[in-house]
Each structure stands twice: as structure tokens, then as C-alpha cells.
Amino acid sequence: MDAVRFSLAALGVILLANGLAAEGLPVKSELVRARCGACHQVDSEQRMSRISYVRKTPEGWEETIQRMMRLHGLDLTPADGRKIEQYLSDSHGLTASELEKVAYSLASEDVEEQVPNGAVKSACTTCHSYAKIAGQRRTRQEWLNLKDFLLAMFPSLVYQHRFEDWPALCDKALPWLADEFPLETPEWKRESGQRPPQEGRWLVRGHQLGKGDYVGAITYRTAADGGFETEAVRQFADGSSVSMNGRGQWLGASAWRGSGHGSEIDRAREVFQLSADGKTQNGRWFPFQHPEQGAKEVRYRVDGSPRIAGIMPGALRRGASAVLRIYGSNFNPSLEPRDLNLGDGTTIDKVSERASDHVNIQVHVAADAKIGKCDITVGVAHMDSALTIYDKVDYIRALPEKALARLGGVRAVPRLIQFEAHAFSNGPDGIPGNADDLDLGLVKASWTLEESFTTPNDEDKKYVGSIGQDGLFTPAQEGPNPQRQRSTNNAGDVWVNASYTPEGSTAPLKTRAYLLVSVPAYRELISQ
Ligand code: HEC
Ligand code: HEC
């Protein structure tokens, strides 16, 4: 009996090995075979060396193709480049749930990464993000190839990493990556047949840096070139609205890449990823050269059912009367106050305006209403924790609390920092600084810079740049400054002070953030 089991196990190993040998994605595009075939061999099953054994994000493909042109002499027209990137993202891309895990890096979000493997952390993320690696799926051989690739690309790599045994760490990192991110994954088996969404309407909810929370809608219409034209309207708590027109396309089934222009912005880039169930898109849009600005946004697909996108304003004070606007889709056109619910403490006096995409309501909040977040209901649509009830503004925070700006304006694009002052309530427990504190949103603060005494007499405040009353810090120019001691550049560190006086109060609330202003990221300049 044991012998039979043993031989079956051995057979399993052989079958698995055969399965692995058969791995590789056929390249069905004539264009890819024609343009890349001179160096990448095609086999009898239309698999191309290297190309058939890796899957990447659209940005990953773009970078590889750029390198083929920069280093290996590949000659491509921009139009062919776009077509090849589209084909490879469509058929050798990442699936929705694979893409979701690295989405933060694609949309240029500023986050602290968690690297789950020590060897990868030391050997790889000294130069680039973990997401650049986790955004790839490769056969074992293709992961192992990276050692030679890196040593050939960066001959000084081992010397730069002289504080550790880089080759040995690399030999640990790559097999781990091969186990973690193989070419064929369960997600690939499950989702690789998915197609991107067709034209339609999406509700949006987001936060634009420096401007605050908004809600709205965006419509996608099929364009003549096979992509989509878009039309978006975003409405802010102060009643203002901003429209934006644009275009874009789906790369693969779930990566939306677009551009737009509107009344307040000349050229914005849109980077969104679709969820695996096809119902929401998460991402950001930002001014073309300034990914550090712009907005984080969620798009909810509008289908036949009623849905709430958000409520404006999103925070009410105990005892207050207010007009609120709830945005959404497919609202019943004959809604009455009894069809809506904003929690126990808030009474709806009147529905003053109703349409399928919004309702305006007059409400008052009881003087003893419970402090905290309330769910809201409009007809059959529901949204958790959408409305905040508070008693008073207890403190403010300047966000981000620690920031890194970069000098620029001569050759480098400066990296700006948009500071925001947020009002906070101590929350139900009345104690500041813990998890139940309530963020009441952005408030208009006044802003000043203050010397941080790290280096005596360096007068950083005078040189690093300036802050506007909208909280936007603009760094000074890069390069040596003859006016400074030893003609050094304008880098330095300062405190950023915010001051805000809540309505009905005379005492201003104050806070500060720490700002480091550094030299440009010269690596970005080289690849421009
Ligand atoms: C003139 C020769 C040449 C042409 C044409 C060429 N490549 Fe390459 N390719 C190379 C060389 C050399 C390497 C190995 C070094 C490297 O990765 O840069 C490579 C490596 C690759 C890799 C593996 C990189 C990795 O680690 O993921 C991919 C994928 C690839 N090429 C895709 C393409 C595509 C797609 C095209 C056509 C648009 C193309 N190549 C055209 C020479 C070429
Ligand atoms: C010395 C700096 C450095 C180190 C260390 C480094 N990389 Fe990179 N890596 C780069 C650069 C720069 C690129 C972009 C290459 C190009 O121009 O296309 C890159 C590209 C890549 C790519 C994309 C290749 C492609 O064509 O899509 C992968 C995957 C990658 N690195 C993985 C790793 C892994 C895994 C490690 C650790 C074992 C590592 N890197 C260590 C600098 C580094």
C-alpha cells in the first residue's frame, strides 16, 4: 500500500514538472511579434522568449518597453508603443485583485510600505519600492534572471551594498519571490477572462487636497478611437462645483488610465483600478506634473438600484439647524421626510428639493444628540457612518504632520506640499488624541513658517520657500544660492504653523507640522 502511495506521489511530481514546462503565455499580436521578434524568439506555440514568462502592470510594461528602446536599440513609433503596451497589459497584465495590492504605488500615493520579507527589504527596496516588485508575476526562471540583470545594469551595486552580502541576500530574495509571485496564480485562473466595463455612469466620492471632501458623478462614453470620453462633476461642501472633461482607456480589465482638463486644472492624470467584482474603482487624479496634489477618489458603478454617494456637509453640531444635500443615484422622485433617516438625534423637517441624483433636506439636531458617526438611509439606500454629530471643535491638526518637499523650478519639477488644517472633536469619551476622536473636516486656517533650530543661524525660513494662506507650500529653486552661507542650496527644515478660530470662539486653536525641504530627486530628472 505504501509503495503505491509513494509511486503516485512521484507521478504527481512528474505531472507538476510537465505543467511547469508548459507554462508561458502565447503572444497573439502580429505587431509584438514583428517589433520584438528580432531579439525575442518565437516558439512553435507562439511563445516569445522573456515576454511570455512575465506579467506586469501597465506601468511595468511601459518601463520595460522604454528600456528596450533606451538600451537595446528598439525603434518604435509612439503609436506602436501605445498599441504594444495595450496588448501586453490586456493579455500579460495583472488581474483586478492582483493590481489592487499595488494600486497605491501606481496612483502615486504617499504611503509607508510593509515589506514582508527581510532579504527583499535589504537587497531590493534600497533602490525602489516593494510595489515595483510585487507588481510583477514571473516564472521561477524569470525571477532568478533578475540577479544577472541587476548586476549588469548596476555594476556598482555590490559596492553600494558593502554593508551586507548582497549576492547572498539576492539568492534568498529571488526564490522567495518566485514562490510568492509565480506566473500562474489562483487569481489569474479565476479572473484572467474578465473584460473591462463598457460605457456608463459612476458616482464619485473623494477628497481633494486643500479643497476638502466632494461627491459627484462621472460618465464614460465610447470614443471613436476605441477608448472613452469622460465628463465629471464634483460638488464640494461649500456649494461650489467643478467640472472636468477627459478621455482614457482600460489597460487590461481593470486599470483605468485617463487624462482630463477643467475649469481649475489644465491637465490632470487619472489612475484608477477596478475592484474584482467590477463595482468600484479606487484611485487618484492629479495635475499632470504634480502627483503630490489632486484627489483620492472612489467611483461606484451606477446600476438600476438606489445608492448614496455621500452627504454634504458631513458634520453637524448638536443643536444646529442646517440644509443638507445627499447625492446618489436612482432616488425615488417622491421622497418624503419619513423615507429618510439620519440617526436618532437628527430630525428631518422638510425635503426641499428632490431629483433622482440628489435630495436637499432641512434638518435640526437635538441639543442632547449622541456624539459620533451616524448611518444614513434614503428610501432603500443606506450608507454607514456617513454623518458626524459633534458638540464642539476641541483641537486642530495640520496634515501631513511630517512632510518632505523638494526644491525645483529650474530643471526639476518642485515637489509641493498641500497642508490641510482639520478640526477635531474629542469624541464621545471627551478625551483628546484617541481612536474615537472625530475628524470634522478641513477648516480655513492661517499659515506661517517658523525657524526650526536644527542648525544654528542657517535662516532656513528665509530660503526654503513660502506658504500661501491656502496651505500650499511652494519650495524655492534648486541649485546653489550665492546669498546663503557657503553658497549652499535652499534645502532646510522649518515648522509650519496653523491657527484657526472656531465660530463663536475668540481663542484661536493652534498646531504645527514639521517640513523638510530637500534637493530634487535627481533620478527622476535623469529618466525624464
Ligand atoms: C534589439 C533587441 C531587442 C528588441 C527589439 C526587444 N528587446 Fe526585449 N530584451 C532585450 C534584451 C537584451 C533583454 C535583456 C536585458 C534587459 O532586460 O534589459 C530584453 C529583455 C526583455 C524582457 C525581460 C525583462 C524583465 O526582466 O522583465 C522583456 C519582457 C522584454 N525584453 C520585452 C520586449 C518587448 C515587449 C519588445 C518589443 C516591444 C522587446 N523586448 C524588444 C533586447 C530586445
Ligand atoms: C541598485 C538599485 C537596485 C536594486 C538594489 C534593485 N533594483 Fe530593481 N530596478 C532598479 C532600477 C533602476 C530599475 C528600472 C530599470 C529600467 O530602467 O527599466 C529596476 C527594475 C526592476 C524590475 C522591473 C524590470 C522590468 O523590466 O520590468 C524588477 C522586477 C526589479 N527591479 C526587481 C528587483 C528585485 C527583486 C531586487 C532585489 C533582488 C531589485 N530589483 C534590486 C534598481 C534596483
- Per-residue HEC secondary structure of 334-353 comes to CCCHHHEECCCCEEEEEEEE
Q: What CATH homologous superfamily does 395-526 map to? A: Immunoglobulins (2.60.40.10)
Q: State the closest ligand 1 atom to the C-alpha of 51, by its place in the atom list counted from 1.
A: 29
Rounded to 10°, the helix 58-72/78-91 angle is: 130
Pocket of ligand 2 contains residue 168 by CB under 6 Å: no
User: What's the fold here for domain 307-390?
Assistant: Immunoglobulin-like (2.60.40)
Strand 265-274 to 280-287 pairing: antiparallel
Contact between residue 169 and residue 139 where contact means Cβ atoms under 8 Å apart? no
Distances (CA, A) of 37 to 31, 76, 139, 141, 249: 9, 13, 20, 20, 27
- pTM: predicted TM-score of the whole model, two decimal places: 0.91
Ligand 1 pocket, residue 72 CB under 6 Å = yes
- Bridge partners, 503 (sequence order): none
d(Cα 391, Cα 383) in Å, to the nearest integer?
22
Matching residue, cell 454617494: 309
Strand 402-406: give its sheet, edge to edge: 402-406, 509-518, 492-500, 446-451
CA distances from 386 to 168, 351, 377, 496 (A): 52, 19, 10, 31
Q: Tell me the C-alpha to C-alpha distance, in Å, between residue 39 and each of 21, 68, 146, 488.
A: 22, 10, 18, 48
Q: Provide the residue ranges of all domains of the chain, joining segments of one domain with +.
A: 1-93, 100-193, 200-301, 307-390, 395-526
Number of the ligand 2 atom closest to the C-alpha atom of 161: 5
Q: Ligand 2, closest atom to CA 54?
A: 27
Residue 264: predicted pLDDT: 85
Locate the ligand 1 atom nearest the alpha carbon of residue 74 and give its number.
5
Tell me the HSE value of 127 on the side-chain side, using a 13 A CA sphere: 15
Strands of the sheet with 472-475, listed across from one edge: 417-418, 472-475, 465-467
CA angle, residues 126, 132, 138, in degrees to nearest 5: 115
Three cell numbers, residue 175: 526564490
**Residue-level pLDDT at 83:** 96
- By the 8 A CB rule, do 51 and 40 touch? yes
- Architecture per CATH, domain 200-301, reads as Beta Barrel (2.40)
- The bridge status of strand 446-451 relative to strand 321-329 is unpaired
Q: Which ligand is nearest to the CA of 40?
A: 1
- Model pLDDT, residue 12: 35
CA gap 73, 81 in Å, rounded:
14
How close is the Cα of 150 to the center of ligand 2, in Å?
6
Query: Among 132, 426, 139, 135, which Cα is nearest to 150's?
Result: 132
Report the interhelical angle of 166-180 vs 140-153 (nearest 10°): 150
Domains 200-301 and 307-390 share a fold: no
Q: Give me the pLDDT at residue 323, please.
A: 95
- The best mutation among 36, 122, 132 to test binding of ligand 2, ranked by most ligand atoms within 8 Å of the C-beta, falls on 132
Phi, psi dihedrals of residue 420, rounded to the nearest 5°:
-130, 140
What pLDDT is stored for residue 63 in this prediction? Answer: 96
**From start to end of 392-491, where are the E strands?**
395-399, 402-406, 417-418, 420-425, 438-443, 446-451, 465-467, 472-475
Say which ligand is closest to the CA of 131.
Answer: 2
Tell me, what's the pLDDT at 527?
A: 54
Average pLDDT per block of 10 residues along the chain, 528 residues long: 39 37 88 96 96 97 96 95 97 96 86 94 94 97 98 95 96 98 97 94 96 96 94 92 96 96 92 95 95 96 93 95 95 95 96 94 97 96 97 96 96 96 96 96 97 87 97 97 93 97 93 97 68
Cell triple for 229? 470620453
Q: Which residues, at least 6 apart from 340, have a Cβ–Cβ distance to it below 8 Å? A: 326, 348, 351, 359, 361, 376, 377, 378, 379
Strand 492-500 relative to strand 509-518, pairing: antiparallel
Question: Nearest C-alpha to atom 42 of ligand 2 is from which residue?
Answer: 127
